[in-house]
Structure 1
Amino acid sequence: MTFSTICLYLAACFAVTIIPGPTMLLALANGTARNWRIAGMGMLGAALSDLILIGAVAIGLGAVLAASELFFSIIKWVGVVYLLWLAIQLWRHKPTSLGANINNPSSSAIKAFRRSLLVALSNPKGLLFFSAFLPQFINTSEPQTIQYITLAILTATLDITIMACYASGGAQAARLLTAKGLTKLNRACASSLISLAVFLALYKKANA
Structure 2
Amino acid sequence: MTFSAWISFALLTAIQTASPGPAVSLLISTGLRSGISGALALLPGILVGDLTLITVAFAMTTALLSVSGAIFDAIKIAGGSYLLFLGFKTLVDVRASFTKNEDPAKSSHTFHQGFFTTVLNPKGILYFATFLPQFISPEGSYNVQFTILGATFLGVGLITDTFYAVASSYGSRYLTPPVRGGLIVIAGTSLLLTGAFVLLTYAESLRVAFA
Alignment correspondent of 2:25: 25
Match for residue 168 of structure 1 among 157, 166, 172? 166
Q: What is the root-mean-square deviation in Å for CA atoms of aligned residues? A: 2.5
AA aligned to 1:198 is: A
- Taking the aligned partners of 2:143 and 2:135, their CA distance within structure 1 comes to 13
What is the letter of the counterpart of residue 8 of structure 2? L
Q: Tell me, what secondary structure is at the counterpart of 1:56?
A: helix
Count of matched residue positions in the alignment of Structure 1 and Structure 2:
200
Q: CA deviation at 1:165?
A: 2.0
Query: AA paired with 2:18?
Result: I
User: Is 2:16 aligned against 1:16?
Assistant: yes
**Residue matched to 2:96:** 95
| Change in 2 beyond 3 A, CA 1:172/1:41 | closer
Q: Report the counterpart of residue 146 of structure 1 in structure 2.
A: 144
**Which residue does the alignment assign to 1:198?**
196
Q: 1:132 aligns with which of 127, 130, 133?
A: 130
The alpha carbon displacement at 1:203 in A equals: 3.7
Deviations 1:134-153 (A, max 9, x none): 11112233222222221121
- Write the letter of the residue equivalent to 1:102: D
User: Equivalent residue for 2:81?
Assistant: 81
- Please state how far the C-alpha of 1:10 moved relative to its aligned partner: 1.0
TM-score normalised by the chain length of structure 2: 0.84
| Contact 1:39-1:167 within 8 A present in 2 as well | yes
Quick check: which has more Rg, 1 or 2? 2
What corresponds to 2:105 in structure 1? 104
Does the CA-based 8 Å contact 1:63-1:131 persist in structure 2? no
| Partner Cα separation in structure 2 for residue 187 and residue 153 of structure 1 | 33
Alignment match, 1:46: 46
Please, which runs of 5 or more residues in structure 1 have no aligned partner?
none
* Distance of 2:126 and 2:65 partners within structure 1: 8
Q: Taking every aligned residue pair, what percent have the same amino acid on both sides?
A: 26
The whole-number CA distance in structure 1 between the counterparts of 2:102 and 2:173 is 18
CA contact 1:96–1:102 (8 Å) conserved in 2: no
Q: Which digits, 9 at most, give the CA deviation of each residue in 1:161-207, with x for residues without a partner?
A: 111222233123421222222221111111111111122224468xx
Once the two structures are TM-superposed, the CA of residue 35 in structure 1 deviates from its matched residue by: 3.9
For 2:98 and 2:104, how far apart are their aligned partners in 1? 9
CA offset at residue 34 of structure 1? 5.6
2:156 pairs with one of 155, 158, 163:
158
Where in structure 2 are there 5+ consecutive unaligned residues? Answer: none
